[in-house]
Amino acid sequence: MAEPTGVDVLLDVLRSEGVTHLFGNPGSTELPLMDALADTGDFDYVLALQEATAVAAAEGYARVTGRPAFLNLHTSAGLGNAIGNLTNAQANRTPLVVTAGQQDYRHIVEDPLLSGNLVGIATAVSKWATEVRTVDDIGPITRRAFQDAASPPTGPVFFSLPMDLLDQRASSPAPPATVVERRVVAGRLEELAELLASTPIGKLGLVIGDEVSASGAVGEAVALAEALGAPVHGQSLHATGVFPQAHPLYADTFAPAAPAIAKALAGYDRVFLIGSHGFVVYPYQPGPPVPAHVELLQLTPDPTALGRYGAPRLALLGDPKATLGALVPLVAARTDRDAVGRAIEERGRAREAAMAQAERLAESRYDASPTDPMAAAHALLRASPARAPVVDEAITTGFYVRRFHHGSSPDRYFFCKGGGLGWGMPFALGVSLGLGGEQTLAAVGDGAAMYSCQALWTAAHRNLPVVFAVFNNRQYLILKNNLRGMDGRSVAKGNFVAMDLDSPAVDYVGLARSLGVDGTLVERASDIGEAARAAFESGRPHLLEIPVAAP
């Protein structure tokens, strides 16, 4: 049997890692890989028209499948196009194996067209970045990339593939896969259980981070909260739903503001953070988010985050699902079940009343003209299928999207804590694809939509049932709001430079149709429900353009 080529080794590693989909936009430096794919029937290449779309689609796919997704980008220019959404993937701690084609090494000393410092470009947005130097390094580096991308702290890794190495013969086949068990139970659980259970009811708060949903531990987090009768707060800017919003013990998701977080925590003696960075703030505001009198406890799977934010009395390293599963019975044996039950009932009444009040307020705004963003988000979420994943890049309307998302599973809500626009529409493609073609809602702001409108073509090309709801206020409202907070010259002059998108106004329905996606303009909140239901029932990608007021 002939020795395998470099591309044969690469594809064999991908197969053994369970990869079925490759994401990218090919160029000439990727042609050896594309040529090899023509002779295989077990890989599905997901074509994006721009690399940022490929990255976010791969991220959505990785997040719902729970394993690293594989990306192949086009040398330095394509990698440059991808950097914005790689920044988002890094912030979201999404495991990605990112590759890019490098020029033929036989003339790399001549600085040929399409060569570049790919490692230098990728270093800032990767756990590590390297360039393959020999054909026999392709297998080990690819295997290592998958292992390291999936190891806490999870995230993107990068390696560059000189195109000539893919055609060379390797001296050995792909290295075998390794079974890795990462579900480690933290130590000192008896001590942690005693600290939690000894805190008076009402004086202990739980803060849940993305690591809980990433490890599949939402059920265990619910069980812990119910064993303690403790209110639950979602970390600020969490990338995935972390706790059932309709649960009696769910208090809120922190706003990314130090004074607001400090106020929410002020009544507690102890706070148990299950995660890494639960108190993200932006923009800067003076004062610590965790009040000085509050004793902090922490559980995280990330060894780099132990005690990094705040000064925990006890910081434990362990997998949330495995550790909480072991912790719950220890806590339950130490608490007064009757007292806990009464606390849950009391908080449940308050939570139900608050939710009902928000529902009534939204419904009262249905006839407002122009459309009220709260009413628009409420009508859209109410009309969406109960199990439909929700991808939220609605920016200023996103607060209401998150408030009214009461889906059957909190880990079907997705948000981007990286802050770079152009993530939501392509991310929704990857979510739908990774879930076998499930109906998915992408709620995006108009500014965000223009960063990644190429995703519409991929949705049409693959006939993915994604409903893209574009909340259009024809401006960068979040920037205006931040300037209003600064109360400077922009406010005094009433002149917000380069923040209006109305001259000319973008026709999002027309844009969608030009890329093969049907669209509907919906100008009243009372009409959104009917339009959204029709869009989902079509079983095809559809865009809803929803003009909204700028409060």
- pLDDT, tens only, 65-106: 999 999 999 999 999 999 999 999 999 999 999 999 999 999
- pLDDT, tens only, 211-230: 999 999 999 999 999 999 99
Task: Report residue 31 CA to chain centroid gap.
Answer: 31
Q: What is the sign, positive or negative, of the torsion defined by CA atoms of 443, 446, 452, 454?
A: positive
Q: What is the pTM of this model?
A: 0.97
Amino acid at 515: L
> What is the number of residues in the chain?
551
- pLDDT, tens only, 472-481: 999 999 999 9
Instruction: Look at the block and give the residue holding tokens 């390291």.
Output: 148
- pLDDT, tens only, 314-354: 999 999 999 999 999 999 999 999 999 999 999 999 999 99
**DSSP for residue 17:** T
User: What SS3 string covers 281-323?
Assistant: CCCCCCCCCCCCCCEEEEEECCHHHCCCCCCCCEEEECCHHHH
| 235 vs 300: CA distance, rounded Å | 13
- pLDDT, tens only, 247-283: 999 999 999 999 999 999 999 999 999 999 999 999 8
Q: Which structure tokens are listed for 9?
A: 């080794």
Q: Centre a 10 Å sphere on the Cβ of residue 520 and count the other Cβ atoms it contains.
A: 18
Query: Residue 489 above 70 pLDDT?
Result: yes
- pLDDT, tens only, 355-411: 999 999 999 999 999 999 999 999 999 999 999 999 999 999 999 999 998 765 788
**CA 62 to each of CA 57, 489, 499: distance values in angstroms, whole numbers, following the listed order:** 9, 44, 34
H/E stretch holding 212: helix 210-214
Residue 1, pLDDT score:
60
Instruction: Look at the block and give the residue holding tokens 């939509």.
Output: 449
Residue 43, pLDDT score:
98
Average confidence (pLDDT) over 5-32: 97
Residue 550, pLDDT score:
86
DSSP string, 123-148: GGGSS-EEE--SGGGHHHHHHHHHHH
Burial of 179 (0-12, 13-18, 19+ CB in 10 A): exposed
Task: Report residue 331 CA to chain centroid gap.
Answer: 31
Residue 408, pLDDT score:
59
**Is domain 189-351 given the CATH code 3.40.50.1220 in the classification?**
yes
Confidence of residue 203 (pLDDT cuts 50, 70, 90): very high
**CA 105 to each of CA 10, 101, 161: distance values in angstroms, whole numbers, following the listed order:** 18, 11, 10
Q: Which structure tokens are listed for 448?
A: 């965000």
- Ranges of CATH 3.40.50.970 domains, the chain: 6-167, 364-547
Spatial strand order of the sheet with 466-472 comes to 413-415, 390-393, 440-445, 466-472, 542-547, 518-521
Confidence of residue 309 (pLDDT cuts 50, 70, 90): confident
Confidence of residue 150 (pLDDT cuts 50, 70, 90): very high
Burial of 498 (0-12, 13-18, 19+ CB in 10 A): exposed
Query: Residue 526 above 90 pLDDT?
Result: yes
Query: Residue 521 above 90 pLDDT?
Result: yes
| 525 vs 451: CA distance, rounded Å | 26
- Ranges of CATH 3.40.50.1220 domains, the chain: 189-351
CB 155 within 8 A of CB 214: no
Confidence of residue 49 (pLDDT cuts 50, 70, 90): very high
Confidence of residue 310 (pLDDT cuts 50, 70, 90): confident
Topology classification of domain 6-167: Rossmann fold (3.40.50)
| 219 vs 197: CA distance, rounded Å | 19
Query: Residue 152 above 70 pLDDT?
Result: yes
The CATH architecture that domain 364-547 belongs to is 3-Layer(aba) Sandwich (3.40)
Residue 407, pLDDT score:
66
| 14 vs 174: CA distance, rounded Å | 10
- pLDDT, tens only, 400-446: 999 998 765 788 999 999 999 999 999 999 999 999 999 999 999 99
Angle separating helix axes 320-332 and 218-228, nearest 10 degrees:
20
| 388 vs 137: CA distance, rounded Å | 42
Burial of 358 (0-12, 13-18, 19+ CB in 10 A): middle
Q: What is the sign, positive or negative, of the torsion defined by CA atoms of 153, 414, 66, 41?
A: negative
Mean pLDDT of the chain: 96
